[in-house]
Structure 1
Amino acid sequence: MNKIDELTPKKVVEKLDNYIIGQKEAKKQVAIALRNRIRRLSLSEDVRKDVIPKNILMIGSTGVGKTEIARRLAEVANAPFVKVEATRFTEVGYVGKNVESMVRELVDSSVNMVKKEMMEEVKDKAQRLVEERIVEVLVPSKKRAKAQPSFMDVMQLFNQNAEYSQNKDYDENEDENIRRRREELLEKLRKGELEDVEIEVEVEEQSSPMFAGLGPELEDMGIQFGEMFQNLMPKKKKRRRMKISEARKVLEPIESEKLIDQDKLIQEGLSRAENRGIIFIDEIDKITSKGVSSGPDVSREGVQRDLLPIVEGTTVMTKYGSISTDYILFIAAGAFSEAKPSDLIPELQGRFPIRAELSDLTKEDFIRILTQPKNAILKQYQYLLETDGVRIEFTEDGVERMANIAFELNEKVENIGARRLYTVVEKVLEEVSFEAPASGEWELKIDSNYVDLRLGKVYGDEDLREYIL
């Protein structure tokens, strides 16, 4: 049993609980959807092809955790993930992004994920190759130590292997000296004694996009054509002078990429996107017709109809090859404050059979969000200020006061959910963050009195709080 097979729905919810407060029902539903995908992979081929993911529609106001649940789910499952806003797409034939671009983004994400894993696997070997390459620069061979080669010298390189056996014009003793010097320097290099030594290395020159300035509707096509032409053209190289410590960082990814099987990389990337990919479509309520009596909004309804084949299952061409969307898990989300899920076209409603309603956050939820999750908001600020020698202690009444203020602001101004907490905490710690670097080491206790001192004037003034908090 591998790691992903061990992800039972209960374990998934437990992992999500480390980052997200509340929303038990939504967590439970996404955990079941993830487990069903794992179960599907264990089925026989003839049964597996008929089992499609049950897509999820999340309904809840902003800042209650819709995006975070989907993002953390992908992280737990080590699945390719992409988040898009439904409002960025336009109907085919209109200026704007095509809905197929989100599938291409998913494939890019998947390939990059697999590439990162493969590079980690060959990291040790790549580091050894980088060390050898650096040592060769420090102690060049007799041929490399010569001046810049002439055109005839370059042409002769094509027959290098044949000529090598016929013309041994190098001094064997000198070769032995070079080998010995390289071994000595390699030992020093591995001990970290040469990190500040400057060397000159050859690196590929970064070229600017060939199709920069295209409209959004041609952006994807332009990128793919640009990459195709760049692959056909020889890559330009330039020599850069840098410290060995920097050269390691520059050369390691280059050497790692040479060790990776590119065909295997692309094949695994496409497969992972097809079978484990998650696409999160936010603000789907913004592309409903909202029940307008004068007739449907052509562009909005058109986007829904363009989304339909992607969600139902179709084949999309990408720069890495074709990908089927049949088994990609789609999670759509929206506040649905002005529209209802029933305002979506019936066909699209049917492709999102699982409905997860997320509840608004309470004062108690805000208190827990500030303190309980892994790397919670207050912990983040404590870690940040500690780097400048400032130790912050949040008292229980101080945390409660910040949570109450955030909750009341959501009630009185506009409900932006947990995002309001960042605004409140940032304002409370504004003066400390400003003074910290120059004040040396000190400690600060933040209680309800301190919170009122920092927020009292702004919170008490209705006009100010609308603009500042």
Structure 2
Amino acid sequence: MSEYNEKIPDPKELEKELGDFLAKKFGGSVKLATPIVMPQAASSDEGEPPPKARQTINFDLKPKDLVSYLDQYIVKQTAAKDTLATKICTHFNRIKHLQSAPDDFIDMVGIIKNNVLMLGPTGVGKTYMVRLIAKKIGVPFVKGDATKFSETGYVGGDVEDLVRDLVKEADGDIQLAQYGIIYIDEIDKIASSHNLIGADVSRTGVQRALLKPMEETDVDLKVPHDPVSMLQEIDRFRKTGKKEKSSINTKHILFIMSGAFSGIDKIISKRIADQKIGFGATLSDPSKDGDILSKLKSEDLVEFGFESEFVGRLPVRTIFERLTELDLRDILENPNNPIILGKKLDFAAYGIDIKFQADTLAELARRAYDENTGARGLVSAVESALLPFEKTLPSTTITRFAATRQVIDRPQESLDELLERPGDASFRQTFDRLAEEECQRIVEYVTANRKTFGEKYGIQLTASRIELAAKAYCSLVTDIEKVLKKIKTYYEETKTIELYFIKNHGINIVLEEEAIDHIIEQCFRDRGKPEDYYRRLTADFEHGLKLVREKTGRTRFFITREALEKPDSFIAGLLRQASDDHLPLSPNPDKLLKG
């Protein structure tokens, strides 16, 4: 820490330094005008200021809940999901537990943070998984690149800037920022070089700069050598007449590091081979062990080029598996994957609805696998296959596009056919078939995860409601989780219609589940809200049900889907039943509308 961080400059010194800076920069054309600061009146309360209330976090997520959430978005990586979900949930639940404990037990010495080191090839979902976790937990999240640190040698200030960025992500809320997550990618790039004679000062310096923030230190939010920071300090002093020391403690900030660690498998293999030398040893070729990274030890990381103190601050380690061609296809078929959703959004921006054939997704996965860049290859495979259509179709009248296997195998030929016969019935039939196939895939996906989704959103996922969710997903450009959230919201709002009806009309209606689904379906179709449907319900049923009430004295009615679709016939049936002198009324009047 430099001498600047040990002492907060006096405001007058700040003004002088700024004046000198402006004079050198702009000559005499720009000067700093400082208004007189009137000291604030002393408080009448001579006692000690009241102690600040202890800040606590609201966190109750369990590891299994977080794993279930990640399963919706990430294919494979079971061990990594289990490790990250468990240790991150434990990290935040432990903070919550300590904060609820008596003051005497809070400051425990020697507690080690669950900082995480993730190892795995590029494009397997490391960054994506951390972003999903930060979003789910709702804490500030900052991503940094270790390669940028290594360019400038001793970069303690740059490392601390990551902590300051957490405050910016938290909109200036320091208390919230101190529970954030800092993610540093390509951390393997700051390992010292193996073939360098002498100390690799630059990379070793970056590692040492990270040591204190990864454990616990106070990071000053004001940067003394930054003119903007100095101006902010002067402005604050003008308003309050006081000098404030603003800092953030990194005790509860979780650090997650990741990297491909190319070549560390050789270090592990050599260690294992050396250990097997001797009488009775079983000789094998460690390089053929597909699970070699799972045998990683701290000494391997030190041999790779990390300081032992740095390795010790990353107690949690998890390995990401290399993705197979089948894994890449599963990613594309996942209804929450951002690659296909993003491409749908690209075409939707021009008013074009695109549907993908299953064989198309399989072929795109094969092409991506050949690039050997993991899931990143999927993006380039999709983009290169569809770019000619994304360029040309927006200038036509085509609004529905079927991305079949033929389309990506023979793009120019397929594009010419579309342009020559844009209204051809065969194109429309193909699109409708792909739309049905997509809808069926979503039905199967939600059905397979029915229990998880049902518990998560607190709704009963019947077969008809699952089909409703699938239709809504296929008509919108969004992930299935947002669709289910919307169904839950619509469901709760629809139930309030019953309260409105009895309050405004004195008639107790009970909407059957299938009737609620009908209203939700209408809301998705018309982009409306259940409260809009209430007006229609009043127009269709108010007078008829009041007439039935006058004839029968009944005030409670069950409304079915059929009743919503044919209200006139429904009311007429009720009136016929009420006026029939020969047939007794239903023995169960509450079920009258079902008859």
TM value normalised by structure 1: 0.58
Q: Which amino acid aligns with 2:62?
A: T
| Offset of residue 429 of structure 1 | 0.9
What is the distance in 1 between the residues matched to 2:364 and 2:153?
49
Counterpart residue number, 2:410: 453
Counterpart residue number, 1:367: 329
| Offset of residue 376 of structure 1 | 3.5
Say if 2:328 is the partner of 1:273.
Answer: no
| Deviations 1:255-312, CA, capped at 9 Å, x for gaps | xxxxxxxxxxx5xx212222x2100011110011132351231111111111111112
Counterpart residue number, 2:201: 298
Q: Which amino acid aligns with 2:262?
A: S
| Offset of residue 92 of structure 1 | 8.6
Cα 1:270/1:286, change in 2 over 3 Å: same
Counterpart residue number, 2:121: 61
Counterpart residue number, 2:107: 49
What is the distance in 1 between the residues matched to 2:320 and 2:363?
25
| Deviations 1:139-183, CA, capped at 9 Å, x for gaps | xxxxxxxxxxxxxxxxxxxxxxxxxxxxxxxxxxxxxxxxxxxxx
Q: How does 1:112-261 map to 2 (within 5 A)?
A: 112=171
Cα 1:47/1:66, change in 2 over 3 Å: farther
Cα 1:397/1:66, change in 2 over 3 Å: same
Q: Is the 8 A contact 1:406 1:420 kept in 2?
A: yes
Q: Is the 8 A contact 1:21 1:373 kept in 2?
A: no
What is the distance in 1 between the residues matched to 2:359 and 2:64?
34
TM value normalised by structure 2: 0.46
Q: Is the 8 A contact 2:67 2:85 kept in 1?
A: yes
RMSD of Structure 2 on Structure 1 (CA): 2.5
| Deviations 1:59-107, CA, capped at 9 Å, x for gaps | 0111111111111111111011100111222599758963211111112
| Offset of residue 444 of structure 1 | 2.9
The equivalent position to 1:332 in structure 2, one of 257, 264, 270, is 257
The equivalent position to 1:32 in structure 2, one of 65, 80, 86, is 86
Aligned residue for 1:89, secondary structure, equals helix
Counterpart residue number, 1:437: 394
| Offset of residue 15 of structure 1 | 1.5
| Offset of residue 18 of structure 1 | 2.5
Cα 1:423/1:92, change in 2 over 3 Å: closer
Q: Could you list the runs of 4 or more consecutive aligned residues of structure 1 that deviate by over 6 angstroms after TM superposition?
A: none
What is the distance in 2 between the residues matched to 1:324 and 1:47?
19
Aligned residue for 1:21, secondary structure, equals coil
Q: Which amino acid aligns with 1:40?
A: I
Counterpart residue number, 2:136: 76
Q: Structure 2: which 5+ residue stretches go unaligned?
A: 1-55, 223-244, 265-299, 414-595
What is the distance in 2 between the residues matched to 1:299 and 1:93?
4
Say if 2:191 is the partner of 1:288.
Answer: yes
Q: Give 1 or 2 for the bigger CA radius of gyration.
A: 2
Cα 1:39/1:88, change in 2 over 3 Å: same
| Offset of residue 373 of structure 1 | 4.5
Q: Which amino acid aligns with 1:323?
A: I
Counterpart residue number, 1:247: none
Counterpart residue number, 1:425: 382
Q: Is the 8 A contact 1:57 1:354 kept in 2?
A: yes
Cα 1:55/1:95, change in 2 over 3 Å: closer
Q: Which amino acid aligns with 1:282?
A: D
Q: Which amino acid aligns with 2:374?
A: G
Cα 1:61/1:316, change in 2 over 3 Å: same
Cα 1:424/1:403, change in 2 over 3 Å: same
What is the distance in 1 between the residues matched to 2:331 and 2:57?
29
Which 10-residue stretch deviates more, 40-49 or 433-442?
A: 40-49
| Deviations 1:410-447, CA, capped at 9 Å, x for gaps | 1xxxxx22111111111111111111221113433223
Aligned residue for 1:100, secondary structure, equals helix
Greater RCO (CA < 8 Å, at least 6 residues apart): 1
| Offset of residue 52 of structure 1 | 4.2
Q: How does 1:362-441 map to 2 (within 5 A)?
A: 362-410=324-372, 416-441=373-398
Q: Is the 8 A contact 1:84 1:281 kept in 2?
A: yes
Q: Which amino acid aligns with 1:443?
A: R
Q: Structure 1: which 5+ residue stretches go unaligned?
A: 113-265, 411-415, 457-469
Q: Which amino acid aligns with 1:38?
A: N
| Offset of residue 347 of structure 1 | 0.4
Q: Which amino acid aligns with 1:388?
A: Y
Say if 2:179 is the partner of 1:308.
Answer: no
Counterpart residue number, 2:247: 322
Q: Which amino acid aligns with 2:161?
A: S
Q: Is the 8 A contact 1:9 1:31 kept in 2?
A: yes
Q: Is the 8 A contact 2:70 2:81 kept in 1?
A: yes
| Deviations 1:377-398, CA, capped at 9 Å, x for gaps | 2232223313433332211111
Cα 1:421/1:93, change in 2 over 3 Å: closer
Cα 1:401/1:90, change in 2 over 3 Å: closer
Q: Which amino acid aligns with 1:273?
A: A
What is the distance in 2 between the residues matched to 1:91 and 1:382?
39
Say if 2:156 is the partner of 1:86.
Answer: no
Aligned residue for 2:64, secondary structure, equals helix
What is the distance in 2 between the residues matched to 1:100 and 1:41?
25
| Offset of residue 25 of structure 1 | 1.4
Aligned residue for 2:143, secondary structure, equals strand
Say if 2:68 is the partner of 1:14.
Answer: yes
Counterpart residue number, 2:447: none
Q: How does 1:341-352 map to 2 (within 5 A)?
A: 341-342=301-302, 343-352=305-314
Aligned residue for 2:314, secondary structure, equals coil
Cα 1:20/1:48, change in 2 over 3 Å: farther
Q: Aligned residues: percent identity?
A: 39
Cα 1:370/1:344, change in 2 over 3 Å: same
What is the distance in 1 between the residues matched to 2:215 and 2:203?
19
Q: Which amino acid aligns with 1:49?
A: D
Cα 1:445/1:98, change in 2 over 3 Å: closer
What is the distance in 2 between the residues matched to 1:3 and 1:371?
37
Say if 2:160 is the partner of 1:103.
Answer: no
| Offset of residue 321 of structure 1 | 1.2
Cα 1:292/1:373, change in 2 over 3 Å: farther
Counterpart residue number, 1:120: none
Count of residue pairs the alignment pairs up:
293
Q: Which has the higher strand share?
A: 1
